[in-house]
Structure 1
Amino acid sequence: MTAPKINGIHHVAYRCKDAKETVDFYQRVMGMDFQLAFAENEVPSTGEHDPYMHIFLDAGGGNVLAFFELPEQPDMDRDQNTPAWVQHIAFKVDSLDDLMAAKANAEAEGLEVLGPTHHGIFKSIYFFDPNGHRLELACDIGTEEEMTELRRVAPEMLEEWSRTKKAPQHAAWLHEKARDEH
């Protein structure tokens, strides 16, 4: 057997509290175009009765972000065993100017924005959507040489992490770069 050749992500789907509020937020704050909506009373894949609204937003570059509103299910919640900072949706912006403009826009919408945070090869800001999903906007700042080095040490880092469950030091220069620029 041969693994399939994946040609990108068709869409990524999350749950939302209110489909209209979610579309409005992503249009206003994130500049995304509302593409499609599907509504069913039965789930096509399982046949279960579970009315839903499924919305699709253009996340740029052929990427699609989707949400389900499920009015007959218990209120949504997040995984209580995972810190809030872990599960997030990260979007790319083209420049530091774009990142700072996005921060100003989000703050003008009344959102609490964290950052920019310097990650060595990118800078990012963080905030939450009306559903409690953490969003990240990131701008790449790493050089091709830095990216090549990170790709080179990735297998070694993963192997060391698997053995020790401690942060490997193979890319300590990355953290030093971030500290030096603060």
Structure 2
Amino acid sequence: MNNKTIPNGYLRKVHHIAFNVRDMVASRHFYGHILGLHELTGEEVPATLIELVNTGKVANFITPDGTIIDLFGEPELLPPDPDPSKSFTRAYHLAFDIDPELFDQALTVIQENNLVIAYGPVSRPTGRGVYFYDPDGFMIEIRCDPH
């Protein structure tokens, strides 16, 4: 077992949770009307998701504590697959927020532990991120805001 770790306290909060959904209309109804979560619209939608939201491929909701739930429409979602690059549950990935000054250190820890990187690191106007798999093949993201 490798002793390299991201020190306790570096991961500050869950940034967002992303779910693949087969029926966007039903899922929007569930999260927005049944659960009563606020759906992000207009200026509230993150710039990187505006096109996907406008075409109905993504919907974003916010919990009272500020956690974002992203719904990604996948009407052709297939049954479970042992290949971790193919989402095998409704959940797409779990994203943790980290201070931008600590992002490179976290990336080093991921690499030194030989974790399988799905993609990244990526840089976007909204910050940097890296996507990798946990031991069960569930995708995790560590992301930070821009400097």
Normalised to the residue count of structure 2, the TM-score between the two structures is 0.40
Q: Which has the higher contact order (CA 8 A, sep 6+)?
A: 2
Structure with max Cα Rg: 1
Normalised to the residue count of structure 1, the TM-score between the two structures is 0.33
